[in-house]
Amino acid sequence: MSEKKIWLSSPHMGGSEQKYISEAFDQNWIAPLGPNVNGFEKDLQSYLKKENIHVAALSSGTASLHLALILAGVERGDEVLCQSLTFAASANPIVYQGATPVFIDSEEETLNISPVFLEEAIQDRISKGKKPKALIAVHLYGMPYKVDEVHEVALRYGIPVIEDSAEALGSSYKGQKCGTFGDFAVLSFNGNKIITTSGGGALVTKSEELKRQAVFLATQARDEAPHYQHSHIGYNYRLSNIAAGIGRGQMEVLEEHVSKRREMNQFYKGLFGTVKGVKVFSEPENTYFSNHWLTVIKSEENGVFKTEDLRLFLENENIESRPLWKPMHLQPVFKDAPFYGNGVAESAFKNGLCLPSGSNLSQEEKKRISDAILSFLKTKML
C-alpha cells in the first residue's frame, strides 16, 4: 500500500479562492460579515436562477436546517417528517427543537423519500391526533427526489417542505435548480461537498423578510438598540467573511466540478455496465439532472458479489469507498422514532456502495480505480 490514498470526495480548489481571502485580510474583514458574505450570497442567488430567492450564508448546512425548522414554526412536541436514508445532520436539528422525527422510507428509483409512504405516514399521524409540522426531503448523493410527487402530497396536506439540498448544488429537476423547490432549502459547503468553504452552509428562503429573520437569529437575535437587548433566543450561525471568500472562488469552478463528477458516473457505468445484478445509479428519466456528488452502486441480494467485499478489496488498494448512509430509523439514537416503509432504504444500505467521485481525480488515479475494480470482478467471475 505504498501508493497515495484515493479519497471518496476531497476538497478541490479552483485557484481564485486566495484572492478573495487576501482581499478580506487587506480590508480587515475577518468578521462574520463583510463583502465576501454578501458577494457569496449574490453568487448563489444568481446561480440558482430563480426569482424571489433569498440566500443567507450560514456556518453549516446543519445550522441552516435548524433555522429552517424554527422559521417553519416547529416547536417542542411537534412531529417532523424526514427521509430515513440520509446523513444524521438532516434529522438532528428536529431534536434540537424538541420535536420528534417521523422517518419515511425511500423509493427504488432515486433512493429518496417515497411519496407513497409519505402520504401513508401523514394520514396515520393525523389519525393519531397530530399533523406533522414540516417535511425534510433530501436529494441524496445529488440525485433529485421525485419533486412533483412529493410536493403534491405535502401541498395537499398543507405541510411546508424543507428541501435538504446539501449534496445537490448543481443538480436540477425539469430544468429548475435543486435548492429552489422547498418553502426552505438548505445547502452545505462542508469539506467533502461539491464545493467547499472548509465549513459552511446556506439557507434559501422565498422572501427577503424570511432571510432577514434567518440572519437575525443567526447573529444572536439582537434587538435594535445601542446596548445588547434580546427578546428571542439567538444563535451564532453566520458564515465568516474568510470562509465566504473561499466560497466565491469555488463558485467560479462549480460547473466544472459538476461535469467532472458526472464523468465519474459515466466512468463507473462503463466499468459495471456488463456486470449482471449490479446497478449504477443514474437519472431515472431525462427530467432529472444529478450533479452525481457521489456515484452509488447497488448489488442485488445474492448477486455476483457483495459490495462489502468490494469495499474491502478497494481498501486494500488504498482506495476509499463507503457504505450508503445507515437509515435513521435503524440508528440507536432514533430507535423509538416512528417509521413508515417496506425495506428499500435498509436494502440500499446493506447492498450499496459509494465510489470515489471527486472532481479532482487524475487520469492515473482513475486508472488505479478501474484496474482495482476489474481485478476484483475477475476474482468473482473467472
Ligand X SMILES: *Cc1c(COP(=O)(O)O)cnc(C)c1O
Please, how many CA atoms are within 13 Å of residue 68, restricted to the half-sphere of its CB?
39
Helix boundaries (H) for the chain: 17-26, 35-48, 61-71, 92-96, 115-127, 147-156, 208-218, 241-251, 254-272, 307-316, 344-351, 363-381
Q: Count residues contacting ligand X (CB under 6 A)?
A: 14
Least Å distance, CB 24 to ligand X, is: 21
Residue span binding ligand X (CB under 6 A) among the ranges 107-115, 164-172, 224-232, 263-271: 164-172
Residue span binding ligand X (CB under 6 A) among the ranges 84-92, 112-120, 205-213, 372-380: 84-92
With respect to ligand X, which residue has the nearer C-beta, 85 or 122? 85
Cell of 275: 456486470
Q: Helices (H), strands (E): how many in the chain?
A: 12, 14
Least Å distance, CB 156 to ligand X, is: 25
Backbone phi and psi for residue 334, each to the nearest 5 degrees, phi listed first? -110, 25
Any contact of residue 327 with ligand X (CB under 6 A)? no
Measured N-to-C along each axis, helices 35-48 and 17-26 cross at an angle, to the nearest 10 degrees, of: 150
Q: Is 206 one of the annotated active-site residues of the chain?
A: no
With respect to ligand X, which residue has the nearer C-beta, 294 or 377? 294
Distance separating alpha carbons of residues 348 and 296, to the nearest angstrom: 10
With respect to ligand X, which residue has the nearer C-beta, 68 or 253? 68
Computed on alpha carbons and rounded to an integer, the radius of gyration of the chain in Å comes to 21
Any contact of residue 170 with ligand X (CB under 6 A)? no
DSSP state of 106: B
Cell of 106: 425511500
Those residues whose C-beta lies under 8 Å from the C-beta of residue 127, and which sit 6 or more positions away, are none
Any contact of residue 349 with ligand X (CB under 6 A)? no
Least Å distance, CB 58 to ligand X, is: 9
Cell of 151: 410536493
Find out whether 214 and 188 touch, Cβ atoms under 8 Å.
Answer: no
Give the pairing of strands 134-138 and 79-83. Answer: parallel
Least Å distance, CB 157 to ligand X, is: 23
Any contact of residue 166 with ligand X (CB under 6 A)? yes
Binding mask 284-323 for ligand X (x = CB under 6 A): ----------------------------------------
Distance separating alpha carbons of residues 70 and 12, to the nearest angstrom: 33
Distance separating alpha carbons of residues 118 and 330, to the nearest angstrom: 18
Any contact of residue 39 with ligand X (CB under 6 A)? no
Interface with ligand X (CB under 6 A), residue from 57, 74, 89, 310: 89
Q: How many CB atoms lie within 10 A of CB 216?
A: 17
Give the pairing of strands 161-164 and 176-177. Answer: unpaired
With respect to ligand X, which residue has the nearer C-beta, 164 or 183? 164
Interface with ligand X (CB under 6 A), residue from 86, 197, 265, 299: 86
Any contact of residue 188 with ligand X (CB under 6 A)? yes
Least Å distance, CB 309 to ligand X, is: 26
Least Å distance, CB 140 to ligand X, is: 7
Backbone phi and psi for residue 219, each to the nearest 5 degrees, phi listed first? -120, 45
With respect to ligand X, which residue has the nearer C-beta, 166 or 373? 166
With respect to ligand X, which residue has the nearer C-beta, 34 or 201? 201
Catalytic residue among 133, 146, 177, 193: 193
**92: nearest Cα among 111, 68, 114:** 68
Least Å distance, CB 64 to ligand X, is: 8
Interface with ligand X (CB under 6 A), residue from 34, 144, 179, 201: 201
Taking CB under 6 A as the criterion, which residues in 102-141 touch ligand X?
138
Interface with ligand X (CB under 6 A), residue from 43, 105, 107, 167: 167
| Residues contributing to the site for ligand X (CB under 6 A) | 60-62, 86-87, 89-90, 138, 164, 166-167, 188, 190, 201
